[in-house]
Amino acid sequence: MAFFNQLKKENKVLYYGILIFMFFTLLANSLRLEIVPFFVFKMYSYPLPTTKEVPFYVLEYNNKEFNVPEIWNHHKRMLFYYSIEHQQDIQKNNGYDKFQTRLKSYFSNIAFLKEHSLYPYQYQKHTDYAQWLSSYLEEVTKEKIKYIKIFKVVVVFDKYKIKVKNRKQIIEYVNRRN
C-alpha cells in the first residue's frame, strides 16, 4: 500500500491508470473473459476433444514389450511414442515430412537446392526409422535387438470397461547387423 500512496502523490494519472487496469482485469477474469495474454488458456494448451476411440502404439522387441513405467525414465519411452506418430504421418504423406512438403512448395524453383546434397525435401525411407529405433532400443535397454514389431492398438471406451477394437502390426524389422 505504501507504493500506491507514494504513486498517488507523485503521478495521479499513472495511479488511476493502474487502478482502472486492475479493476477491469479482475472484472474480466470473474466473467471468464480472456483479455490479457497471460491468462489466455488457448495460448498454452487446448481442450482435447472427447472421443470414444483412442489409438496408441505397442513396441515389442526380442519377445518382450517395451515398457518403462517409472516417471523418472520418461525420456526413454518418450522418444519412441513421439517419433512413431511422426513416422506414421510421413508414411501417409508418401515418405515426406509435412514440413518438407511445405518447403517444396516454397523453394521448388531454386536450382541450387536441387543440386545440393542436403536438399530440404528429400524422400525418407520407411526402413530408416526401424533401423534407427533398433539402435535406440539397444542403447536404452542395453540388449542386442534381434527384431522389433510395432502395433497400432485402438481401444474403445465403454461405460464400464475398455475394449480393444483393433490391433494391427504396422512395422516389423529384423536386425541383420547382429
83, 129 in Cβ contact below 8 A?
yes
Quick one: which H or E segment has residue 112? helix 111-115
**Furthest-apart CA atoms within the chain: distance in Å:** 80
pLDDT for the residue numbered 85: 86
Q: What residues form DSSP beta bridges with 64?
A: 61
Question: What one-letter code names the amino acid at 1?
Answer: M
Question: What one-letter code names the amino acid at 172?
Answer: E
pLDDT band per the 50, 70, 90 thresholds, residue 125 = low
177, 149 in Cβ contact below 8 A?
no
Nearest alpha-carbon partner for 135 in 100, 95, 178: 178
User: Cell triple for residue 70?
Assistant: 517409472
Give the start-to-end residue ranges of the domains of the chain. Answer: 2-44, 53-174
* Mean of per-residue pLDDT scores for the chain: 81
Residue 116: count other Cβ atoms within 10 Å of its Cβ: 10
148, 59 in Cβ contact below 8 A?
yes
- pLDDT, one tens digit per residue, over 48-62 is 778 889 898 999 999
Choice between 150 and 78, residue whose per-residue pLDDT is larger: 150
Give 47's DSSP letter. Answer: P
pLDDT band per the 50, 70, 90 thresholds, residue 147 = very high
